[in-house]
Amino acid sequence: MLKTMFKTLAVSALLAGTAMTATAADYTLRATANSNENDEDYDGLIVFKNYVEAASNGAIEVELFIGTQLCSNGAECLQGVADGSIDIYISTSGGASGLFPYVQVLDLPYLMADDRIAEHVLSGDFTRTMRDMALEDSGDAIRLMTIGNTGGWRNFANTKRRVAEPGDMNGLKIRTVVADLPQELVRALGASPTPIPWPELFTSFQTGVVEGSKNGITDIMGMKFPDAGLQYVTLDGHAYMGALWWMSNETFMSMPDDLKTVVVDGFYGLQQATFASPKRKSIQAYADFVAGGGDLYVPTPAQKAAFKEAASPVYDWFKDNVTRGPAIFDALTAAVADAEADIGAARAADLN
């Protein structure tokens, strides 16, 4: 018993000594995501927090605020990043388009063919080009750190019929966000864009206010939209659901180079986590959709080419109507061409 008591006292003394010698972090990063703990954004933040705190040997502490604790929408959250009350924030392209309209380039349809192309593009100089634009337009206040993924790929889904080619979209009322680009896309395909707030979408399907949407499968199943009548999904993969990770440039630039390196490497790990997470989660989501009687259609290459051709007027609309649209469009299409060449060469080498 004495041996046990002395052992307990020794452990207590060791822990007390550790607590007495521990020092507060030199930097505390307040990171927020307007999502939940089942989301890819949260997966990425956990990887980021774990890496940065360990690699900095405690010099950096990362505090996570999931949901709307610090801010409730893109404009408010980005203002928090600009004024330094928020250090890190993740937005969709729609959430940041009010301040940086050209980020909507990520929503242009059928430019990136698959995950491998998208990940190559977003890991390279295209993201640095967008970073430079955002720094310039925010007066060096808001820094784009990386672009990951939040939900896989957007696909067309509806309550009425299988959509195998563009003509099948005619007349469908498709839910969009209140933004010009997705509405232009829906019109180009012959459907009717209907802006509906996300929380109202389930009942809008039930009542027929809208008959379709453009979402990833994890969102469709997470919101139980099949229960509201959404039974047809076409895997056209018209847009990669990019996640833009922003940081207070003042906070980042205040760090010494060794800690900046830790943060940059942390965002690399975060990006890789968000690339991987939707791939895994979508497997079960697709299985559940089909098991529930859902119709899952994969367009042929010819049908997908027809979708791209029908949607092509949106490219000109973007370049003509979006601030800095031509520059960012050229940057993206050049990056896609480089990615296709690099990946094509790698595939050829791996076949030998």
Which of 31, 94, 21 has the alpha carbon at shortest distance from 62?
31
Q: How many domains does the chain have?
A: 1
Domain containing 299 equals 26-351
Residue 171, domain member (yes or no): yes
**CA torsion through residues 266, 271, 274, 275, sign:** negative
Specify the CATH number for the domain of residue 145. Answer: 3.40.190.170
Residue 10, domain member (yes or no): no
Residue 338, domain member (yes or no): yes
Structure tokens at 115: 């995950």
Neighbours of 172 (CB within 10 A): 21
Helix (H) or strand (E) holding 192: strand 192-195
* Residue 8 CB contacts under 8 Å (≥ 6 apart), including other chains: none
Residue 11, domain member (yes or no): no
Residue 109, domain member (yes or no): yes
Q: Which residue has the tokens 């690699």?
A: 55
User: Does residue 246 sit in helix, strand or coil?
Assistant: strand
Residue 266, domain member (yes or no): yes
Residue 230, domain member (yes or no): yes
Residue 205, domain member (yes or no): yes
Query: pLDDT (tens digit, 0 to 9) for every residue of the chain, 352 residues total?
Result: 434 433 443 434 333 333 333 468 999 999 999 988 988 999 999 999 999 999 999 999 999 999 999 998 999 999 999 999 999 999 999 889 999 999 999 999 999 999 999 999 999 999 999 999 999 999 999 999 999 999 999 999 999 999 999 999 999 999 998 888 999 999 999 999 999 898 899 999 999 999 999 999 999 999 999 999 999 999 999 999 999 999 999 999 999 999 999 999 999 999 999 999 999 999 999 999 999 999 999 999 999 999 999 999 999 999 999 999 999 999 999 999 999 999 999 999 999 8
